[in-house]
Amino acid sequence: MSKNYMLALDLGEKSGSNKKAIEIAENLANNDGATLHVVTVIPTFSMPIVGSYFPEGFEEKHFKEAKAVLKKEIQSYAKNPDVIKRVVVKGSIYDEIINAADKLGCSLIIMEAHRPDLKDYLLGPNAARVVRHAKQSVYVIRD
């Protein structure tokens, strides 16, 4: 089994909501002697119709801000923040979580799943899609 674990973190959640996920992921990684990679996904603005609504340089600015927020979340809640690898990727949430786990050689994906609404049963939340399509084991944290 690989010694790389990945926590998929949603930076769009209200402040402090990622604490539980970071603590659980860090404990799992520490208990197994694994390296923890914390990944967040931001939307891409590369489609011309989408990109035309944003000022020039917005995507790069958004990417830098996401990196800073991710670092702050980890610094705030992790016991050993300096050993955690931080990764920001752009694209579709569930696709990029799976792609990142593959590229990083992770054997476990850790992610939160919120209580489902009716719309989630019809469309399927990101966590359900990751669970269905990932090659890795997926540890789902319920809030």
Backbone angles phi, psi at 121, to 5 degrees: -70, -30
**Taking the C-alpha atoms of 99, 24, 21 and 62 in order, what is their torsion angle to the nearest 10 degrees?**
-50
The CA distances from residue 119 to 47, 113, 115, 122, 125, in Å, are 26, 14, 11, 5, 9
Residue 109 has pLDDT above 50, yes or no: yes
- DSSP sequence for 117-143: PHHHHHH--HHHHHHHH-SSEEEEEE-
Q: Report pLDDT for 141.
A: 87
Tell me the domain boundaries of the chain: 4-142
- DSSP sequence for 24-82: HHHHHHHHHTPEEEEEEEE----SHHHHTTS-TTHHHHHHHHHHHHHHHHHHHH-SSGG
**CATH superfamily name and code, 4-142:** HUPs (3.40.50.620)
Query: What are 58-92's pLDDT values in tens digits?
Result: 778 878 999 999 999 999 999 999 999 999 999 88
Residue 116 has pLDDT above 70, yes or no: no
Q: How confident is the prediction for the chain on average, in pLDDT?
A: 85
pTM score of the predicted model: 0.85
Cα 32 from Cα 55, distance rounded (Å):
45
